[in-house]
Amino acid sequence: MKYRFLGDTLQLVRYEITVTVPWSETPSEYTAASDEEKDELLKRYPDAEVTAVDNSGFEWLDGEVFTNEEVRAGAVEKAIKMGEEAYNEMKNAPTQEQINAMLMLEIARIKAGVVNE
């Protein structure tokens, strides 16, 4: 799987573009996350070599937001290993603050004598 970030948003790399210019021994490498981006690069470098990247099965990660701290902590790799279903369950799980608020509400209901409302 190949990806890059635009700000905090993960983008799947759909194409790798290699540009060879006569005055350089080292080719320049670019990535494109969409057909439009690939086409723009090919307008500038019509002789570039384009390689499609197979990210099959990881489409669910495209567009996910990860903070810099999460990226440094390995959250992307963890999400990849977990898979879509487990990642979505984790992502949608209540935070500790939400759990605490629900518990406090339940305690208040019990003290007030209100049950199952």
Positions in the chain whose pLDDT score sits under 70: 93, 115-117
d(CA 76, CA 24): 35
- What pLDDT does 24 receive? 86
Report pLDDT for 104.
87
Q: What is the pLDDT of residue 9?
A: 97
Residues 64-81 pLDDT 10s = 999 999 999 999 999 999
**pLDDT at res. 115:** 67
Q: What is the pLDDT of residue 116?
A: 64
pLDDT for 114 equals 75
- Domain layout of the chain by residue ranges: 3-82
- Total-model pTM: 0.71
Q: In what order do the strands lie in the sheet with 49-52?
A: 28-32, 15-19, 49-52
Helix, strand, coil percentages in the chain from 3-state DSSP, rounded to 5 = 45, 20, 35
